[in-house]
Amino acid sequence: MSSREEILGRVRAGLHRNASNAAAGREVMHAALANRGSGPQPAMDASPKALLERFRVKSELQSSTVDIVAEESAVPAAVARYLTSMTLPKAAVAQPALAHLDWAAAGLTVEARGARDADLVGITGCFCAVAETGTLMVCSSPDTPATVSLLPETHIAVVRASRILPYMEDAWDLARKELGTLPRAVNFISGPSRTGDIEQTIVLGAHGPYRVHLVIVEG
């Protein structure tokens, strides 16, 4: 018997599960999952304009910077503007899902692939965003490799305003509805990586990017 089997056996014994009542127990579990409810949630204006504004405010409180553009075609220029303002190189790696944008016209050299350790700037989309906390939900796939948001020092994320949802529960509901099977990795990103382990002094970039810039597309 493996360690895993031994541990699961103890859990089953604790729950009084055995071969004769396994089916009934499974039905109880499925019923509980199907009827799950939300926990307490703060009141929120759920109009699109209010969600965008709340997401912007909460994101900036998490030390992200925010730019808002009218349409997707304006994203490359917005990225170039940010990189210039931060004196960062005009080269980046982007998720293949963003390869259709005209990066070269904005003076950028952008490679559509997963990130490597030498990449300084990573550009991603996001599956959706959560207004309550200013959080991005980023799901991995061949077109959206997780390395692009995790490895480079600077993470730039393209956020569609129509994908800003009120609560975290809404994000999970949308993932279940649109993705069916959950992806290999689901990352929630609320501003730059940080730690306060040493003398309770906040240090950015401890375990990932120390800059997060959001380009929100209204149209």
pLDDT tier for residue 134 given thresholds of 50, 70 and 90: very high
Assign 215 to helix, strand or coil. Answer: strand
Least confident of 36-40, 55-59, 162-166: 36-40
Q: Which domain holds residue 17?
A: 3-35
Answer whether residue 43 is part of any domain: no
Q: Count of domains in the chain?
A: 2
If asked whether residues 139 and 75 sit together in one domain, one would say: yes
| More confident of the two residues 37 and 60 | 60
Which segments of 25-100 are extended strands (E)? 65-69, 91-94
Question: Confidence band (pLDDT; 50, 70, 90) for 219?
Answer: confident
Tell me the per-residue pLDDT of 89-106, one tens digit each, with 9 for 90 and over.
999 999 999 999 999 999
In a domain, 31, yes or no: yes
Residue with tokens 């599960």: 17
What's the one-letter identity of residue 52? L
User: Is 41 part of any domain?
Assistant: no
Burial class of residue 116 in the structure, from the number of CB atoms within 10 Å of its CB (0-12 exposed, 13-18 middle, 19+ buried):
exposed
Same domain, 28 and 136: no
Q: pLDDT band at residue 205, thresholds of 50, 70 and 90? A: confident
Residues 16 and 105 in one domain: no
